């Protein structure tokens, strides 16, 4: 009898493990947010002096791996990325888990922007001459996402976004070819470069709401890249002036501790630096059990985003590192999205 019980237990354990590594289901919670497409316009209406505040002091919500929302079980691996997804055996055994740990956002980028995201962390790869977005696994064609971003900008004069190509997996192409491609993608006869309203400015600290949006009359975009082979307009702003530390922690408490340590260092940092709080957890080989049982980036972000937001010194954290970047920016769990937007807005309204 004991032998049979042990066998049954082993079967159950094996079954649960199989589900853990094979299921691509990413989260059970739904997005829920108010319309924050007028995030900056509302601030200017309440604080006209905000127009001339340095960009490096402005608070905004950032979307980590913003264009990964279309990753699913049928997504191909990004062959240019040095990642376990390119191991055929591991992909065969654990494709579902790879999907859950690659998809960082639940909604498309247009909905993220409507939910108040204004900093977009973007990864691009080139496969057989076609540009895609990816996060280990390929999401969808870059062109589709560019059109959604352009649609938002077309509809919302007075708003602006920071567009950072953080990683570019070039394949057989180069960054110049990527720039030329971006010029060809249009919405209402405008491409992304048409929303760059500032001229002869090469410092983040010299950018303001006023010169990014032509004093609020136009939508604007700030283009830059942390990719090694950037060129053209993407190289005008110095990537050395970006502080964005990846903490590489799956445990919320460990991540919060590192963020607070970083805040102490950055509290009185020179205004020239664009400071980005990487407030998202990451799969970690240091804690494989936690990584697997956290189920998905989205599922873990649902809990973690609220944990960090509930810290008693959250306002000090935002003061020290103004750009607040997370997975699952549209999450409605415990009203996360609306609460973080309110906090960021509250701070911006006081800036002079």
Encode 188-234 in three state secondary structure. CCECHHHHCCCCCCCCHHHCEHHHHCCCCCCCEEEEEECCCCCCHHH
Which residues are 168's β-sheet partners?
124
Question: What's the Rg (C-alpha) of the chain?
Answer: 21
Tell me what the mean pLDDT of segment 61-72 comes to: 96
pLDDT by residue (tens digit) across 76-91?
A: 988 888 777 767 766 6
Is residue 11 very low, low, confident or very high in pLDDT (cuts 50, 70, 90)? low
Q: What is the pLDDT of residues 247-280, one digit of tens each?
A: 999 889 999 999 999 998 888 788 999 999 999 9
**Percentage of residues in the chain having pLDDT higher than 70:** 89
Asked if residue 124 has pLDDT above 80, the reply is: yes
How crowded is residue 310: how many other Cβ atoms within 10 Å of its Cβ?
Answer: 10
pLDDT digits (tens, 9 = 90+) for 236-246: 999 999 999 99
Is residue 189 pLDDT above 60, yes or no? yes
Residue 269, token pair as written in the block: 């940092």
pLDDT of residue 29: 60
Return the SS3 of 278: strand
- The answer to whether 205 and 54 are in contact (CB under 8 A) is yes
Least trusted range by pLDDT, from 80-94, 132-146, 302-316 = 80-94
**DSSP 3-state assignment of 275?**
strand
The dihedral built from the CA positions of residue 112, 113, 115 and 120, taken in this order, carries a sign that is: positive
Q: Write down the pLDDT at residue 28.
A: 55
Q: What is the pLDDT of residue 20?
A: 54
311 pLDDT band, cuts 50/70/90, is very high
Strands 130-135 and 323-326: unpaired
For residue 54, pLDDT over 70 is answered with yes
**CA 107/CA 117 separation, integer angstroms:** 12
Checking if the pLDDT of 153 tops 90, the result is yes
Distance of alpha carbon 222 from alpha carbon 233, whole angstroms: 10
Give the residue, 49 or 33, on which the prediction is more confident.
49
Model pLDDT, residue 6: 59
Q: Where does the chain have alpha helices with state H?
A: 2-22, 39-46, 88-100, 109-114, 142-155, 175-184, 209-212, 252-266, 288-293, 297-309, 314-320, 336-350
Residue 14's pLDDT is what?
Answer: 45
Nearest to 98 by CA among 341, 332, 297, 246: 297
Residue 135: which of 164, 160, 111, 100 has the closest Cα?
A: 100
- In the numeric block, the tokens 């055994």 are attached to 93
Euclidean distance between the first and the last CA atom of the chain, given in angstroms as a whole number = 75
**Backbone angles phi and psi of 348, in degrees to 5:** -60, -35
pLDDT at 267: 80
Residue 15 has pLDDT above 60, yes or no: no
pLDDT at 171: 82
Determine the 3-state secondary structure of 122 from DSSP: strand
The CB density around residue 19, as the number of other CB atoms within 10 Å, is 12
Per the rule left: phi > 0, alpha: psi between -120 and 50, beta: everything else, 32 is: beta
> Tokens 């601030």 identify what position?
43
CA 296-108-320 angle, 5° bins: 70
Say what the pTM is.
0.92
Complete domains list, the chain, with CATH: 35-350 (3.20.20.190)
List the structure tokens of 36.
């924050």
What's the mean pLDDT in 294-318?
92
Instruction: Answer whether residue 230 shows pLDDT above 60.
Output: yes
The arithmetic mean of pLDDT across residues 157-175, rounded, is 93
Q: Could you give the CA distance from residue 116 to residue 324 in angstroms, rounded to a whole number?
A: 12
């Amino acid at each position: 009898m004991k032998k049979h019980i042990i066998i049954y237990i082993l079967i159950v354990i094996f079954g649960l493990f199989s589900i853990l590594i094979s299921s691509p289901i990413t989260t059970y919670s739904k997005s829920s947010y108010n319309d924050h497409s007028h995030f900056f316009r509302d601030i200017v209406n309440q604080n006209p002096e905000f127009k001339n505040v340095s960009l490096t002091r402005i608070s905004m919500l950032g979307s980590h791996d913003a264009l990964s929302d279309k990753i699913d079980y049928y997504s191909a691996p990004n062959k240019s990325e040095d990642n376990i997804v390119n191991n055929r055996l591991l992909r065969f055994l654990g494709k579902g888990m790879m999907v859950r740990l690659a998809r960082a956002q639940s909604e498309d980028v247009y909905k993220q922007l409507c939910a108040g995201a204004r900093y977009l962390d973007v990864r691009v790869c080139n496969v057989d001459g076609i540009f895609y977005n990816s996060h280990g696994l390929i999401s969808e064609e870059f062109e589709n996402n560019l059109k959604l971003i352009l649609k938002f900008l077309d509809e919302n004069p007075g708003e602006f976004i920071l567009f950072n190509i953080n990683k570019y997996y070039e394949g057989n192409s180069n960054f110049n070819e990527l720039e030329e491609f971006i010029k060809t993608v249009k919405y209402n006869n405008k491409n992304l470069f048409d929303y760059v309203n500032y001229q002869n400015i090469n410092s983040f600290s010299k950018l303001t709401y006023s010169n990014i949006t032509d004093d609020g009359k136009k939508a604007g975009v700030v283009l830059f890249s942390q990719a090694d082979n950037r060129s053209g307009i993407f190289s005008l702003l110095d990537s050395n002036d970006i502080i964005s530390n990846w903490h590489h922690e799956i445990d919320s408490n460990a991540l919060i501790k590192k963020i607070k340590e970083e805040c102490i260092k950055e509290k009185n940092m020179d205004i020239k630096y664009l400071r980005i709080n990487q407030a998202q957890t990451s799969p970690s080989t240091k804690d494989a059990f936690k990584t697997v049982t956290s189920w998905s980036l989205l599922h873990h972000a649902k809990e973690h985003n609220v944990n960090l937001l509930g810290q008693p010194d959250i306002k000090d954290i935002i003061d020290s590192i103004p750009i607040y970047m997370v997975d699952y920016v549209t999450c409605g769990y415990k009203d996360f999205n609306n609460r973080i937007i309110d906090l960021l807005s509250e701070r911006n309204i006081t800036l002079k």
